[in-house]
Structure 1
Amino acid sequence: MGPSSAAEIMVVDTERDRDDNENQYPELVEFEDPDDPTHPLNWSVPWKSWITFVVAILNLIGTVASSIFETGNHQFMKHFMKHFNISDEVAVLGTSLFLVGYIFGFLTFGPLSERFGRKWPMLLGIAISSIFDIMPATGTSVAAVLIGRFFGGFFGVAPVGIFGGIMSDIWPMRHRGIAMALAVSFVFSGPTFGPVFGGFVMGDKNLDWRWNMWVVIIVGLAASAICAVTFPETYPATILRSKARRLQKKTKNPNIKTAADKEALTMDTIVRVYMIRPFWLFTTQPILALLTIYQSFVYGVLFLFYQTYPVAFGDNRGWSMTLRYLPLMAIITGVFLGSLGIVLHNQLYFRHHCQAPDGTFIPESRLPPMIVGGIMVPIGMFWFAWAATPAVSWGSSICASLVIGCGMYLIFIQGFNYIVDCYTSMANSAMGVNGSMRSVFGAVFPLFANQMVQALGVARTVTVLGGLSVALVPVPIVFWYRGDRIRAWSSAKVV
């Protein structure tokens, strides 16, 4: 046998080996079985708990940045007053424009994460937001400061817009409530922590209003760098896509694909699925629409409180800059008490009543705590309003704030859980439009807060808001009794 024959045999053997190697793997990459260890739902509890904790911290960073700027408004005005005529409304734009950025960010990052995965949209969002925060930290004009705040909000909302999808990636329904309780407690507490942290910064005579931004920049960039190395991808479709690329490289077979790869990403798909679908859900799904309006109102009231509390405890009671924001910690304490209540509800009630006799999941089993929260909020607000005078001990207002914080949290956490349970396959789109609407309220309420408090006073302002919150109490009650029927006739269909 000559050299040429040997070479031919070698080529044939190589081609045969390649064919065998290619035939060893199916061209459609899927998880091997329901217990596949590479599927995020099958990861270990400690690993999933770590992921949940990291997501909660990233949400805390992104939401603290939304409100921390407010504590330096007066210094901000004085700094630029020499060259620009700045009113209170312009100073408040430092907070409102950040939340306007949230509006567009929610509609961008949530849907994008359904196509490109969770990890990098979330981490790049935090990192780029921190970079834009350099503009208000160093800007020499009002325009530079406000533009930086807008884009800081646009990118900074990434973890808030994506966390619902991450929770549905890694936690089954029976455990998702506890995981969401932790994540949402940080999401909801973040804006309240902002003024508290900012109060300490502004209370230091050696620091000015720009240090509110430097704190966010340093923490945001550091967290992004650490998570780039330690945080895994959780989106099953992206995990499969990475597996397919590895197999393509190993087998030299470019036809190995995932189900997601076989769906062409056309402009029509982008517009229909990622831009239209969130609004379509909002306009066709009564559950999503009413819960979004309810949560948006509560969110707007929360941001209005950031301008009400300094008046109630600072101007009216004469507390210092550092101390006047500390009563907000009562709201945060209420939030964490509410999270404990959710854990107890999950263990004592939810897991025993979340399934019908035929095994189908019952999303409405999430709602009892939300009903309780809806009742607590107006009670706490009326209590705070009537105690908002120096003639009444400040301890009474603190106790009222705790009730408000607990009630608001219960509305948020169970509203989020109920939305994710009802729209699991489109959780990020549903949460995206929910977040955008909340941001609209959060951006608008601070714009009239000062005028409302000056015209009506703290007591009457909070009383009016408490009365409006009473009108929203029936929302979860209706869904508790009629939610299954409403879901049946308004069943979500992908646009």
Structure 2
Amino acid sequence: MGPLSGAICRETGEEGGHPFLVDFDGSDDPDLPLNWSFPRKIWVTSVVAVLNLIGTVASSIFGTGSQVFIQEFDISHEVAVLGTTLFLVGYIFGFIVFGPLSERFGRKWPMLLGITISSLFDIMPALGQNPATILIGRFFGGLFGVAPVAVFGGVISDCWSTAHRGIAMALAVSLVFSGPTFGPIFGGFIMGSSSLDWRWNMWVIIIVGLSACALCVFLYPETYPAAILRAKARTLRRKTGNPDIKTVYDKGTLSLNEVMRVYLVRPFWLITTQPILTLLTLYQSFIYGVLFLFYQAYPISFGTDRGWSMTLRYLPLVSIICGVFAGAIGIIVHNQLYFRHHCHGPDGSLIPEARLPPMIVGGVMVPVGMFWFAGTASPNIPWPSPVCASFLIGCGMYLLFIQGFNYIVDNYTSMANSAMGVNGSMRSVFGAVFPLFANQMITALGVARTTYILGAFSVALIPVPVCFWYWGHRIRAWSSTKTAPQ
């Protein structure tokens, strides 16, 4: 089929309207991403997951070289931690921009440009000869590097139907969520090498990021239906010379004020008027902050307290990753055995609350795992016990994130990227702040007491998904009476 297959150009007959409109040829049009072949959907989802992995590994890998960074420039620990914090501060602004704007300009180019520019800014910490240059590079690396994280929810919504979206999200989020945990592990091996220095943490990200983007320019398709039709309309205008050919998504040129209102104000409107999004975002943000605090607690618990080498002290984080992938398998089983058969009401409408049982289980697993870890953090207790506790923590955290993401997308499908954007922005605030006090808290209280305190907060948050399970439909009905910025 040719490049314009599946698109139809028809006269509207509307006085004062566009005489020709490009649209998809029905709901079964093969050019609609929902109708793509299964292997193509797998390819698109896998690429988005890998790009997310690159962006999220970059968020935490810098921290493994902090001690050498401190010695080389004679700076305090708090200044060195800014290498991670400023990257996540960049995430805050990047989520607000890239998610909503991808709803206007498509998924592919914002995502690829974001990773490319982020990789170029990573050259600043790779070559920088003073802390200011390095830290500025980290901020802008995060600002642009968050692009695939901000866009992936929209890509999955574009390509997968509701019944299968849970499986696609499960696999993609397993890599997205594991990325920050892979960072210290990779960095630990780099720092443990006698031939590589801390700057190679950045060079690895630069090489992989630019290589992946170069391949995706030619091999990765656009998934946003509106952007696909606009590309077809441009091709038709060029071939026919008819400037009146438009798409069904074109409503005239948006002014700067309209762009600001619809695509930048909308996320803040959502977080302030939608209780479901607000509470889930706060819950996930706390868990995200705890995860980044663990990246400083684990090398102390297994390195300083147990005397493990630089290469080995980060390896227990693998148990968190194993827990994440175990959680992904659990979500796939839940989707096949329960969700597919209970996700629609008698009238055929989607019931988002069918996503919540695994999230409730995850909410219980996290504090149980944290109390277990705290109780076995002493060097006198064999290391397999806290490692097994880490598995439980990772699995619980993943269940909270994946089902929270799915629940948000199901509730705000038409504005998924805006909702996910503000969710990611708030998570980044917590991820940026927690490392700033992590070292002082662990030094003052110890690993065990710090983890006990965080576990107590996790217990207090367990009722959030439980309340949505019982009253989510009422909250959604109340929230739907409010009108979003158009």
Specify the code of the residue in structure 1 equivalent to 2:484. Answer: V
Aligned-partner SS, 1:30? strand
Q: Does structure 1 residue 389 correspond to structure 2 residue 382?
A: no
Look up the match of 2:253.
264
Aligned-partner SS, 1:112? helix
Any conservation in 2 of the 1:127–1:224 contact (CA below 8 Å)?
yes
Look up the match of 2:281.
292
TM-score of the aligned structures, taking structure 1 as reference length: 0.94
Pair 1:30–1:23, CA change in 2 (3 A): closer
Any conservation in 1 of the 2:49–2:173 contact (CA below 8 Å)?
yes
Any conservation in 1 of the 2:19–2:244 contact (CA below 8 Å)?
no
Give the distance between the partners of 2:401 and 2:188, measured in 1 at CA: 26
Give the distance between the partners of 1:470 and 1:139, measured in 2 at CA: 43
Q: Show the 5 A alignment for 1:412-431.
A: 412-431=401-420
Look up the match of 2:5.
none
Alignment partner of 1:29 out of 22, 26, 34: 22
Look up the match of 1:493.
483
Give the distance between the partners of 2:197 and 2:396, measured in 1 at CA: 35
Any stretches of 5+ residues in structure 1 without a counterpart?
A: 1-20
Look up the match of 1:455.
444
Q: Show the 5 A alignment for 1:218-297.
A: 218-297=207-286
Alignment partner of 1:372 out of 361, 373, 381: 361
Any stretches of 5+ residues in structure 2 without a counterpart?
A: 1-8, 13-17
* CA apart distance, 1:269: 1.0
Q: Does structure 1 residue 214 correspond to structure 2 residue 203?
A: yes
Q: Show the 5 A alignment for 1:341-380.
A: 341-380=330-369
Any conservation in 1 of the 2:10–2:22 contact (CA below 8 Å)?
no
* CA apart distance, 1:391: 1.2
Specify the code of the residue in structure 2 equivalent to 1:27. Answer: F
Look up the match of 2:6.
none
* CA apart distance, 1:394: 0.4
Q: Show the 5 A alignment for 1:125-274.
A: 125-274=114-263
Alignment partner of 2:43 out of 39, 50, 67: 50
* CA apart distance, 1:250: 2.5
Alignment partner of 2:52 out of 45, 54, 59: 59
* RMSD of aligned Cα (Å): 1.3
Look up the match of 1:117.
106
Deviations 1:16-49 (A, max 9, x none): xxxxx99699611111101000100000111001
Give the distance between the partners of 1:494 and 1:247, measured in 2 at CA: 34
Any conservation in 1 of the 2:95–2:422 contact (CA below 8 Å)?
yes
Look up the match of 1:38.
31
Q: Does structure 1 residue 475 correspond to structure 2 residue 441?
A: no
Deviations 1:116-156 (A, max 9, x none): 11001000100110000000000011100000000000000
Give the distance between the partners of 1:388 and 1:177, measured in 2 at CA: 35
Give the distance between the partners of 1:464 and 1:355, measured in 2 at CA: 40
Alignment partner of 1:439 out of 399, 418, 428: 428
Aligned-partner SS, 1:192? helix
Aligned-partner SS, 2:24? coil
Aligned-partner SS, 2:347? coil
Give the distance between the partners of 1:158 and 1:177, measured in 2 at CA: 22
Q: Show the 5 A alignment for 1:299-318.
A: 299-318=288-307
Give the distance between the partners of 1:151 and 1:439, measured in 2 at CA: 14
Greater C-alpha radius of gyration: 1
Look up the match of 1:335.
324
Aligned length: 471
Specify the code of the residue in structure 2 equivalent to 1:311. Answer: I
Identity within the alignment, %: 72
Give the distance between the partners of 1:490 and 1:357, measured in 2 at CA: 22
